[in-house]
Chains A and B, each alone.
Chain A
Amino acid sequence: MRSSAVYAAEAIRELAYTLVEKQCTLEDIQRLLRIYKPLNKKDVRVTAENKHDVVARNLRQAVDARLVPFERVLDLIRDSEENGAQHIFFYRPKNSAVAKLTRDGARVSTALWGEDWKAQKSFPRLLDEVPGEPDWCDFRLNDGAGWTAKIYGSGTRYENFGEEKVVGTDPVDGAPIYQRQYKRVQERTVLLVRWLNSGILEIRVPIWSSRKATEKMLATVWDSLSPAINALDFKPWLLTDCCTKMMRESANYQKVYCFSDSILRDSASGTATFSTMSEEETLFSVVERKQAIEAMLLPKKNCCERIAVTFLKQKQTDALSDDLRVIIAAHEQHEIVIGAKTTPAAVDYVVYRLREFS
Chain B
Amino acid sequence: MLFIDFVSLADRYPDMGAVWIALAEWSKDHSQVSYIVPHLVARDLAKIVPEELNRAFDILVEEQSYAQVYRVLNPSTLTFLPGAWESLTDVPDRIPDRWNMLIDTADAQIIPVLVKNG
Contact = CB atoms under 8 A, between A and B. Distances in A.
Interface of A: 160, 207, 209-210, 260-261, 273, 275-279, 281, 285-286, 306, 308, 327, 330-331, 337, 339
A65 to B, nearest CB: 44
Given A160-B93, A286-B32, A278 B80 contact: yes
6 contacts: A278-B35, A279-B98, A286-B32, A308-B98, A308-B99, A330-B100
A330 B99 contact: yes
- Sorting the interface of chain B by its residue count into under 10, 10 to 19, 20 to 34 or 35 or more gives 10 to 19
A306 B100 contact: no
Contacts, number: 41
A225 B99 CA distance: 29
B79 A306 contact: no
Contacts of A339: 96, 100
Please provide the 9 A-B residue pairs with the shortest distance between their CB atoms, ordered closest to farther. A278-B80, A275-B79, A261-B98, A337-B100, A308-B98, A275-B77, A277-B79, A279-B82, A286-B32
A335 to B, nearest CB: 10
B41 interface: no
Interface of B: 32, 35, 37, 71, 77, 79-80, 82, 93-94, 96, 98-100, 102
- A260, A281, A286, A327 — most chain B CB neighbours (10 Å): A281
Contacts of B35: 278
- A276, A278, A285 — most chain B CB neighbours (10 Å): A278
B80 A279 contact: yes
Given A275-B77, A279-B82, A261 B71 contact: no
A327 B99 contact: yes
A207 B100 contact: yes
B47 to A, nearest CB: 24
A273 B79 CA distance: 11
Given A277-B80, A327-B100, 5 more contacts: A276-B79, A278-B80, A279-B80, A279-B82, A330-B99
